[in-house]
Amino acid sequence: MLKGCWHRYTNMVTHNVFTGHVSAVASWTYCFNGTGQGTQQVIWQDGKSCTNPVTAQFNPNGTLTIQDSIPCGQVPRTPRSLFLGRSVCTRLSATQASCPRIDLTGPYAGQSFPGMFRR
């Protein structure tokens, strides 16, 4: 079920908390192996990108938790980056999931941002 890639298709913008600049995201992808190890890759419309390792595990209630291992773009630092985050996904169908992302660090720590994923 988990192996392969999922593509975020909603809430495809990021906000620079220092400048207020809004950047459109062209592609936001999570790819996993069969044991829950994977990567998150974000590519913005201007071609800048960040990639970071993530892990995923199924929860007893049937949801899936995706956890950033390091903040996307922070090591090495890139012109665009994301704060450390976690998503808890609820499967909607064989090809769709609702995966709100919660910032774990930064000025919006604890805030949830909606996101829909598809295969």
In tens, the pLDDT along 5-40 reads 999 999 899 888 777 888 999 999 999 998 999 999
Pick left, alpha or beta for residue 70 (phi over 0 → left; psi -120 to 50 → alpha; otherwise beta).
Answer: beta
Contact in structure between 54 and 69 (CB atoms under 8 Å): yes
| Tally: H helices and E strands in the chain | 0, 11
Per-residue pLDDT band for 79 (boundaries 50, 70, 90) equals low
pLDDT digits 0-9 by tens, 39-74? 999 999 999 888 899 999 999 999 999 999 888 876
**Mean pLDDT, residues 82-87:** 90
Contact status, residue 4 vs residue 119, Cβ threshold 8 Å: yes
Which sign does the torsion angle of CA 23, 32, 78, 19 carry?
Answer: positive
